[in-house]
Each structure stands twice: as structure tokens, then as C-alpha cells.
């Protein structure tokens, strides 16, 4: 892994840690799990994994599994976003 990729991966890890902190703070203040924020954090974590993945050392099934997780989280985030939009309209 090149130095710039290592720095970028570390930066993304810090952003993920900040989002996890925000999740905890929001939960402690409201006693409600912020589902959309949790899914966004998971999307950022899997995106970090995709960015730093070494294709020489993993098999195709690992790539397909990662793609399935990204797809599932993306669909979930979209559907949760639709649900929150509908609640604000009514």
C-alpha cells in the first residue's frame, strides 16, 4: 500500500470514529438509536474497506460479498431516507 493510500485510510478511520462518537452522543441524549446515521457510518466503513482493499490477496467471493454488503447498505439507506421524508410530510 502506498503512503498516500495509508494516509487516506487513516483519515477515513478518524472520520468513522467521529461518526461513531456522534452516534453514541445522539443515543445518550435522546434514547433513540439514530438508524440513518448508523447506516451512514456502516457505509463509510465499508467504503474505506473497498478503497484500501488489496485485490492481489483476496478471492472473487470476498469481492462479491463486499459488493453485496455495499448494495444492501445502499438500498437500506435509501429506504430509510424515504421513510424519514414521508414522516416529515405528514
| Mean pLDDT (the chain, rounded) | 86
pLDDT at 82: 86
The answer to whether 15 and 22 are in contact (CB under 8 A) is no
Residue labelled with grid coordinates 455495499: 70
Cα distance between residue 27 and residue 3, in whole Å:
36
pLDDT at 53: 86
The answer to whether 73 and 46 are in contact (CB under 8 A) is yes
Q: Could you read off the pLDDT of 43-85 as tens digits, one per residue?
A: 999 988 988 888 888 889 999 999 999 999 999 999 998 876 6
The total domain count for the chain is: 1
Helix and strand counts by DSSP (H, E) for the chain: 3, 0
Cα distance between residue 51 and residue 71, in whole Å:
16
Domain that holds residue 63: 3-89
Amino acid at each position: 500500500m502506498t503512503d498516500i493510500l495509508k494516509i487516506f485510510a487513516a483519515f477515513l478511520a478518524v472520520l468513522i470514529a467521529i461518526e461513531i462518537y456522534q452516534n453514541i452522543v445522539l443515543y445518550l441524549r435522546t434514547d433513540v438509536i439514530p438508524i440513518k446515521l448508523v447506516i451512514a457510518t456502516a457505509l463509510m466503513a465499508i467504503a474505506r474497506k473497498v478503497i484500501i482493499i488489496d485485490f492481489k490477496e483476496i478471492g472473487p467471493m470476498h469481492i462479491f460479498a463486499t459488493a453485496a454488503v455495499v448494495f444492501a447498505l445502499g438500498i437500506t439507506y435509501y429506504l430509510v431516507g424515504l421513510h424519514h421524508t414521508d414522516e416529515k410530510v405528514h
